[in-house]
Chain A
């Protein structure tokens, strides 16, 4: 019943609904990319250098059409964007899930156990939050090197503190409520109280933060790829596609950079629109 109420509140904004529709479309594309793409852009045997840098609408030697043109290696841009969205979303969601799991657990623990546990975790989170995400990510990647797992590690390291802080603040308030007193009186185990009783009531602000953070994670990954520190070059994410296309902007081959940029933009904007409305619905006082 609560969910229906939230959904109704949410639906009041046309723009947010549009954002939601867009997200659904992007998710569909990302999940079914291998089925709907004309070409597998990560399979080198399917590429042909003689097809390189063709403008949108050109025909390939194999007979198909390159709707959005090709890049410098002969990759079909449409397929590359589908797979790129898939990678970007996967990295964004995976890092958010891990960061959420770690951050929320730590935040709840800090609020529940108090004392030095609280002081340590709260201070660490504050310290982490006072530094810009890109700096932490850059340095971590410089030390760890390249690769998809390392990017996820860097993103998780950057994001966990947001969840920890939000969870802790919410839990500190909820902790004093009567249903928690009751649970303690029933001598339920700590873990059970934390995850079965405390957590569900702290969820609203956490969900809002998560929504915003997915977009931030996707943007950060794209930025790191653009700077050349991201994923391997034969499996390009959107950031890498844009970066590759930079060299060709001036010479008129705009499609290599512009179309992936638009795809990235649509993904991030739609998530932010939805997150905005979610915040208005779930967390109107704006506890940040």
Chain B
């Protein structure tokens, strides 16, 4: 009897181990609102989509484009791209992935009501299925960015998602993809559960089961990791970084994110909203049109202090609109040195010796410490005589107002895998037909920068394109088209027994977590 007991115990423990399998529990920093991969283009939703679906092109940890469901692609002529698709890829229901599913997915992005993925496919005017594994896409004008845009188009199963609405994805009916995990359950506001796809074309993930727990409250998410409820979390609250790094039970991973925090300054109106002199009367001219004022503002910001005291070291002062590993980053540009004396002199030279007053607008729930950064910048502007009133809004309220140009001084955070793409959206003269300047709230218009960008987009050779992109970046930054602040870091914390290859695009991929 005495010998039987240990055997029984061992058997029980083995059994429970086997029954549990390997499970990974991850704490997410933002709320997942929908499982529909073509509806809302917000990071938490796309994060989940990347687990269940694939796209034709993928992006590696350094934000460089790599093959996904498309093995290779080439420009057949100036307006046509041909994609050779991967063979033998199976959807989670066993059916085979073919060009038809790709075309269906591209078309679905146009059909979802209020869908935010239309911008990635609206330039594709012709789709031709050459054969089961070859697809040709035609654009109206030469567009070198089609493969980049397709990285945002998730491929769903034509069979499973025919006539599917967002509710069908939430319930799981249409959640059939080719990705590393199968969909199990979505409990809104609480968790997303996934199970391993043993037949994944890019290698079997290390985890049987993955649970994404939704914990947007920073302290709660961290507490979950410390108590052992979670195995890993994304976005470590910056105040806790030093402590977490010292904790022997935890491992951390971090990387400069592609997200650059910067400020748009209204340069196109004579009387931008909220700009007044110190007694409240509207100014006679727009100070932001004077490059000396823009430079003064840039000089007044102590970027290193923000990085050290606000971000606890989890940011990099910025000189470009894209971070260092990204295509098109000009390494010779340096962040503006902190010089409040010089800033005051410049302001006086420009005709504003007593400064002026304005409203600084920023979101308060989107970027790391965005509300605190806004207040810190307002504080620094106050030191050189510019009295800034801080207006913070949740992102959903902030964006529509900002797009309607209601703010003269507005914060934005931009993540791009290409410097020229960033410039195209943020700094190029607004041209909706071309898709230029869609996010150019400042109204900055520099024909030379536009020329360079157009030239670059028509250039298929990557090296040439990068040189042109760098030139354009130098031109825009030296002209203070916008005022870059810093590149935030993407951070992850996990149990000591795990490791994660940090990603520039800030995504948290369960299949990239490996046991040590």
Contacts and interface: CB of A to CB of B under 8 A. Distances in A.
Direct A–B contact in complex, judged by CB atoms less than 8 Å apart: yes
Contacts of B237: 247, 250-251
A21 interface: no
Interface residues of B, number: 30
B12 interface: no
Interface stretch (A47-55, A191-199, A262-270): A47-55
Given A233-B392, A234-B390, A251-B240, A73 B382 contact: no
Contacts of B382: 43-45, 47
B411 interface: no
Nearest to A250: B219
Given A49-B302, A251-B243, A72 B372 contact: yes
A249 B218 CA distance: 11
Interface in B473-494: none
Tell me what chain B mostly uses at the interface: helix, strand, loop, or mixed.
Answer: helix
Nearest to B244: A251
Interface in B217-235: 218-219, 222-223
B376 interface: yes
B239 A248 contact: yes
A73 B239 contact: no
Nearest to B243: A251
B309 A49 contact: yes
B245 to A, nearest CB: 12
Contacts of B223: 250
Contacts, number: 67
A232 interface: yes
A173 B111 CA distance: 68
Interface string B356-390: 00000000100000011001101111110001111
Contacts of B11: none
Of the candidates B222, B243, B376, B387, the one having the most CB atoms from chain A within 10 angstroms of its own CB is B376
Given A233-B364, A246-B219, 15 more contacts: A44-B379, A45-B379, A49-B306, A52-B309, A53-B239, A72-B239, A74-B379, A228-B364, A233-B371, A233-B390, A247-B237, A247-B239, A250-B219, A251-B243, A253-B239
Interface of B: 218-219, 222-223, 237, 239-240, 243, 302, 305-306, 309-310, 364, 371-372, 375-376, 378-383, 387-392
6 contacts: A44-B387, A44-B388, A49-B310, A49-B380, A52-B310, A246-B219
The 9 closest A-B pairs by CB, nearest first: A44-B382, A45-B382, A251-B240, A251-B239, A44-B379, A52-B309, A47-B379, A250-B219, A49-B305
